[in-house]
Amino acid sequence: MDPGRAVTVRVDDAHVYFRVYEDPAAGIKQLFSSGRTARRYQTIRAVRGVSLDLHESETLGLIGANGSGKSTLLAAMTGLLPLASGKILGRSRPSLLGVSAALRSALSGRRNILIGGLALGFTRAEVESRMDEIIDFAGLRAAIDRPLRTYSSGMRARLNFAIATARIPDILLIDEALSVGDQGFRARSAERIDEVRSAAGSVVLVSHNMAEIEESCDRVAWLDAGALRAVGEPGEVVASYLDSDAAR
Amino acid sequence: MSDSGQQTDQPLVDLTRPSPPAAYLAEVWRRRDFAILVPVQDLRAQNMGSALGQLWHLLNPALMVAVYFLIFGVIIDTSRGVDNFLGFLIVGVVWFHLTQRVVQDAAVCIPRNLGLIRSVQFPRILLPAATVNGQTAAFAPALVLALAAVVATGERPSLRWLALIGVLAAQFVFHFGAALLVARIGAAVPDLRQLLPHVFRLLFYASGVIFSVDAFVTSESWRRAFALNPIYDVITCARWCLLGEPVDPWVVAGMLVWGVVLLVVGFAVFWRTDQRLGA
Task: State the Cα–Cα distance between residues A149 and B256, nearest whole angstrom.
Answer: 45
Q: How many angstroms from the chain centroid is the CA of residue B230?
A: 11
Confidence at residue A212, expressed as pLDDT on a 0 to 100 scale: 85
Average pLDDT, integer, range A109-136: 94
**Stretch among A72-86, A106-120, B87-101 having the lowest mean pLDDT:** A72-86
Greater model confidence, A150 or A209: A150
**Stretch among A23-27, A55-59, A240-244, B129-133 having the lowest mean pLDDT:** A23-27
**Domain coordinates of chain A in residue numbers?**
53-243
Query: Measured between CB atoms, does B54 come within 8 Å of chain A?
Result: no
Alpha-carbon gap: A80 to the closest alpha carbon of chain B (Å): 6
Confidence at residue A30, expressed as pLDDT on a 0 to 100 scale: 59
pLDDT surpasses 50 at A179: yes
Confidence at residue A228, expressed as pLDDT on a 0 to 100 scale: 94
Confidence at residue A79, expressed as pLDDT on a 0 to 100 scale: 81
- Which residues in chain B have Cβ-Cβ distances shorter than 8 Å to A200? 3-4, 6-7
Greater model confidence, A97 or B163: B163
**pLDDT level of residue A25 (50, 70, 90 thresholds):** low
Greater model confidence, B2 or A245: A245
Cβ pairs A/B, distance under 8 A: 126
pLDDT surpasses 70 at A37: no
Query: What is the ipTM for the molecules in this complex?
Result: 0.82
- CB contact under 8 Å between A118 and B121, yes or no, is no
Confidence at residue B7, expressed as pLDDT on a 0 to 100 scale: 45
Average pLDDT of chain A? 86
- CB contact under 8 Å between B33 and A92, yes or no, is no
- Secondary structure (H, E, C), chain A: CCCCCCEEEEEEEEEEEEEEECCCCCCHHHHHHCCCCCCCEEEEEEEEEEEEEEECCEEEEEECCCCCCHHHHHHHHCCCCCCCEEEEEECCCCEECCCHHHCCCCCEHHHHHHHHHHHCCCCHHHHHHHHHHHHHHHCCHHHCCCEHHHCCHHHHHHHHHHHHCCCCCCEEEEECCCCCCCHHHHHHHHHHHHHHHHCCCEEEEECCCHHHHHHHCCEEEEEECCEEEEEECHHHHHHHHHHCCCCC
Average pLDDT, integer, range A99-128: 92
Backbone angles phi, psi at A182, to 5 degrees: -85, 180
**pLDDT level of residue A180 (50, 70, 90 thresholds):** low
- Which residues in chain A have Cβ-Cβ distances shorter than 8 Å to B7? 6, 56, 91, 170, 200
Query: Measured between CB atoms, does B23 come within 8 Å of chain A?
Result: no
**Closest chain B residue to the Cα of A174, Cα to Cα:** B119
Nearest to B19 by CA among B275, B266, B264: B275
Confidence at residue A3, expressed as pLDDT on a 0 to 100 scale: 55
Domain A53-243, CATH class in plain words: alpha beta
Confidence at residue B211, expressed as pLDDT on a 0 to 100 scale: 87
Q: What is the mean pLDDT of each run of 10 residues along chain B (279 residues)?
A: 47 84 92 94 84 87 92 86 89 95 96 87 94 95 93 90 95 97 93 95 91 84 87 95 90 95 95 80
Disruptive mutation site among A54, A97, A118, A146 for chain B (greatest number of B CBs within 10 Å) = A118
Confidence at residue B9, expressed as pLDDT on a 0 to 100 scale: 59
- CB contact under 8 Å between B33 and A124, yes or no, is yes
Average pLDDT, integer, range A85-100: 88
Disruptive mutation site among A11, A80, A203 for chain B (greatest number of B CBs within 10 Å) = A80
pLDDT surpasses 90 at A232: yes
Alpha-carbon gap: B89 to the closest alpha carbon of chain A (Å): 35
Average pLDDT, integer, range A215-224: 93
Confidence at residue A73, expressed as pLDDT on a 0 to 100 scale: 93
**Stretch among A108-117, A153-162, A171-180 having the lowest mean pLDDT:** A171-180
Confidence at residue B1, expressed as pLDDT on a 0 to 100 scale: 37
B202 burial type by CB count under 10 A (0-12 exposed, 13-18 middle, 19+ buried)? exposed
**Closest chain B residue to the Cα of A19, Cα to Cα:** B279
- Which residues in chain A have Cβ-Cβ distances shorter than 8 Å to B118? 75, 80-81, 101
Alpha-carbon gap: A43 to the closest alpha carbon of chain B (Å): 13
Alpha-carbon gap: B176 to the closest alpha carbon of chain A (Å): 20
